Amino acid sequence: MSRLLIVEDEPALRRALTINLRARGYAVDALGTGTGALRAAAAHQPDLVIVDLGLPDLDGAEVIAGLRGWSRVPIIVLSARDTQQQKVRALDAGADDYVTKPFGMDELLARVRAALRRAQEHDLPSAAVIRTDSFELDLAGKRATRAGVEVKLTPTEWHLVEALVRRPGILVPGSQLLSEVWGPGYEGQANYLRVYFAQLRRKLERDPGRPRHFITEPGLGYRFEAG
């Protein structure tokens, strides 16, 4: 049974979505705030998220960005905001699909099925907490600990960590990391990576000179190994 997380502040619509999705055999968690949704997603990892952009505490794009910090769960935006700019902002934040209100329930259900099918085909795992023998990363809470002691990471260090740990065991080219973390146009700044990975290893690795988790493949890129 797939677990869906609905983030919608309109009680009537939230209830209608919950009833319709449960009737189709989905397990549903439904919340009215972005903050509550992020906590729920970390505690009970959903297989798909449906999120409204107009939430009372956070903008929906902030919720999407918060989820994308640690998860590749499919995200469908459900919103009355129908301008191209709003759609582009949501998709750039990490949404996979955009449905404009008012909408037909059959269309939404079809989009849910399609998104779940794509995720299953790509076998996209996600975890809010990464544990190694040296450190622990709470990606949802942006908290790193080593031997039980909190380690402060800068926003850039977190971004770099997240870019690797969501692809465990996969070699990520340095140019790709530079583009993801610093933006297009920085692909040639390999010195940035050397400096930041040296900092991360000093903060997190048990033996920074012989790293076991943040691995450099000279001339190729970097990879994260949890074991």
Find out if CATH 1.10.10.10 is the number for domain 129-224: yes
pLDDT value for 125: 45
Residue 192 has pLDDT above 90, yes or no: yes
Taking CA 38 as the corner, what is the angle to CA 63 and CA 40, rounded to the nearest 5 degrees? 145
Beta pairing partners, 221: 173, 217
Rounded Cα distance between 13 and 10, Å, is 5
Classified as helix, coil or strand, 52 is: coil
More confident residue, 185 or 202: 202
pLDDT value for 127: 63
Q: Which of 3.40.50.2300, 3.40.50.620, 3.40.50.300, 3.30.450.40 is the CATH number of 3-122? A: 3.40.50.2300
pLDDT, one tens digit per residue, over 77-123 is 998 877 778 888 888 888 889 998 889 999 999 999 988 887 775 54
Residue 216's closest CA among 188, 199, 193?
193
Identify the helix (H) or strand (E) that includes residue 146: strand 143-146
CB atoms within 10 A of CB 107: 10
- Mean pLDDT for the chain overall: 88
CA 227, distance to chain mean position in Å, is 22
Residues of the chain with pLDDT > 90, as a percent, come to: 49
Going from N- to C-terminal start, the domains of the chain cover 3-122, 129-224
**Residue 42 — very low, low, confident or very high, per pLDDT cuts 50/70/90?**
confident
Burial profile 56-90: b = 16 or more Cβ within 10 angstroms, e = fewer? eebebbbbbebbbbbbbbbbbbbbebeeeebbebb
For tokens 């998104």, what's the residue?
A: 115
pLDDT value for 109: 93
CA 197, distance to chain mean position in Å, is 21
- Sorted by sequence, the CB contacts under 8 Å of residue 46 that are 6+ apart come out as 3, 4, 5, 29, 40, 73
More confident residue, 105 or 163: 105
User: What DSSP line would sit under 27-46, residue for residue?
Assistant: EEEEES-HHHHHHHHHHS--
pLDDT value for 207: 93
